[in-house]
Amino acid sequence: MAEEFVSKDQFNEFIKRMEQGFHHADQRYSDLITVMNQRFDQTDQQRQVDQEAMNQRFNQVDQRYSDLITVMNQRFNQVDQQQKEDRQLMMQQFQQADQQRQEDRQLMMQQFQQADQLRQEDRQLFMQQFQQAGQRFAQHETRLLSLENWMRTTFVTLGIVAVGVASQLLYTLLRFGLKPPTP
């Protein structure tokens, strides 16, 4: 491919265009820096405004917290007084409940004795049922053992038949001249 020569005027024009492009890029970069500095200044001002608003809000929260603590202390004092009164009333009710509990205990002891007698009778009945169930399990176990022996016998028989069939097949293949593959 042949080289293409440019004249000195064309070269100077090219250089001039490049310098104008660089100057234009420098101007855009300076404008961008100016805009960024303005935005940072706005952000700093907004942050200061937000900081002042947060401080005011924290002061309000602190005041509300102090008021809440005062109200809670008053309420705790009321609760303590109510608790003392309730305790006295509960002690009277506990004494009445203790007396009722003694009466109920005697009644429960009678019921426990009756329940114990019923439990003994139920135990004897359960023992009879368990013995019957044990006999049934023994019968089923005997049947399962018989079935297991039958299955073993069948498996052995099938194995012998399979070996016989394989031997007969090998014999037939060898008789007709088919040889096993050699390595």
Domain residue limits, the chain: 10-142
Q: Percent of the chain at pLDDT above 90?
A: 45
Digit-coded pLDDT (tens) for 74-102:
999 999 999 989 999 998 898 999 899 99
Whole-number Å distance between alpha carbons of 137 and 143: 10
The answer to whether residue 70 scores a pLDDT higher than 90 is yes
The answer to whether residue 171 scores a pLDDT higher than 70 is yes
Digit-coded pLDDT (tens) for 117-142:
999 998 998 889 889 888 888 888 88
The answer to whether residue 181 scores a pLDDT higher than 70 is no
In degrees, to the nearest 5, what angle opens at C-alpha 46 toward C-alphas 42 and 52? 150
Write down the pTM of the prediction. Answer: 0.30
